[in-house]
Structures are given as C-alpha cells and as structure tokens.
Amino acid sequence: MDAKVVAITGASRGIGAAAAREFASAGWRVALMARSEKDIASIAEEIGEAAMALRCDVADFTSVQAALQTVVARWGRLDALINNAGVIDPIARIEDADPEAWGKAIDINLKGVLYGMRAALPQMKAQGGGTIITVSSGAAHNPLEGWSSYCSAKAGAAMLTRAAHLEEGANGLRIMGLSPGTVATEMQVKIKASGINPVSQLDPAVHIPAEWPAKCLLWMCGPGGDDWLGKEISLRDEGIRRAIGVIQ
C-alpha cells in the first residue's frame, strides 16, 4: 500500500498505454482510464494486480470524477494524474469544419484537461501534494492548416496548465506540461492519411516511439521535473532526451 498511484487518461493505446507500462515497471500502481474498456482491461491484465481499468469519458466531468474517486477508494491516494487523452479529428479547414465535431474535439482536448484537474485537485491538496502533467503539442504554439480545433484546444490546455500552477503551486502541487513532438501512434496514421499541412508529409521514420514520452512522464513525476513546474518540457530538447536516458 506504500506504492505511489498514477491515473492516466487515454490509456488504451499510444503514449497512454506506454506510460501505464512504464509507471508499473517502476513500482507504481496504475489506473488506466479510457472509453475503450476492452483495450484498457487487456493492458491492466498484462500489468497485473498493480493496475486497474476504468472506463472513462474525459468529455464528461461526472465520468472523470467517478473514475478518480474509484482510484482513491481502492488505493487510498492519487499521486499523479497524466492528462493524455486527445483526438486530432476533425481535420478540416475552418470554412469546411463541422461546428459540432469541432466542439466535441474541444470537449476532449481542452475541457477534458480541466475535468481531470478539477477532479484531482481536492484529493491531492487533502493528502499534501501531487503531480498533474498535461500532454501538450507543438500545435499549442503554432497554427497548422486544417488543425484549428486541435491547435486551439492545445493552446488552451497549455494556458490552463500555467493557470493551475499559478493557483496551486504554493499548495504543494506540481503542475506542468510535456510536448512530446511527433510520436509513432495511431494519430500519426490519421494525420498522414489526411494529406493536409506539413506534418502529414513527414517521413514516419522521424517519429519517436511512444516509450520515450512515457519515460519522460515518469521522470517528470520525480525530482527531474522540479525545474519545470508551471512550464512545458519539449521532448525535442536533446538535454531532456539525455536526462531520461533515451539518447547518449
């Protein structure tokens, strides 16, 4: 029962699944949260008793709150929350975008981050501390054709991370972001197929494996992240890559 506890949204694949395995291998208890119940159940079974799978829709605050309450009820605490869930769709120029689809992406990519923070903060403050990391993107800082919803949501989430640090840093909470760069995940497959903007033209060989941001997330939950509170780490930084041990 002394093991630290992490909850990871969007844990059914990609960075989230890799992070679940990375934290578990480091001795953490891991709560995998996603809409894909079958997928997270399979990963949790693979990890073993140190993992639980919780069906969760990050676009629904009640769902997020209930999932985190279940984590605390079972394991007694919540040491880290990784706000990882995200979608790239809809990929469309603004003049062609479906307003409803555009808004649903905001619900996941931006409001989902707020819901995670809002549900985790009371528990973390009550126990005297915790870490909240939001998986960001270069799209938070640079507009890209066809990605107006994704860029807007990621920009909002980056500012939300800074605001949360401003409000809660003095209360023992460690809040920051990670911009992983382009990662070899299913999202990159969709981006490639779209043929829109320069990111879709990238050679898949340049994408880093999901295990790299997973290692960085674990590193950020320890002393390595202390210099980055309220800020955003870029995994394109070779100094960070060396610090987490993925390059020499």
Long-range contacts of 33-37 (CB under 8 A, 24+ apart): 33/7, 33/8, 33/9, 33/58, 33/64, 33/67, 33/85, 34/9, 34/10, 34/85, 36/12
**Torsion region of 195: left, alpha or beta (phi above 0 gives left; psi -120 to 50 gives alpha):** left
The total of other beta-carbon atoms located within 10 Å of residue 151's CB is 20
Which residue among the candidates 75, 150, 212, 228 is catalytic per the annotation? 150
CB 83 within 8 A of CB 134: yes
Calpha distance 171→119 (Å, rounded): 16
Calpha distance 200→73 (Å, rounded): 43
Residues, the chain, total? 248
| Continuous segment of H or E residues that includes residue 175 | strand 173-179
Residue 115 annotated among the catalytic residues of the structure = no
Give the 3-state secondary structure of residue 18: helix
Give the 3-state secondary structure of residue 52: strand
Catalytic residues: 150
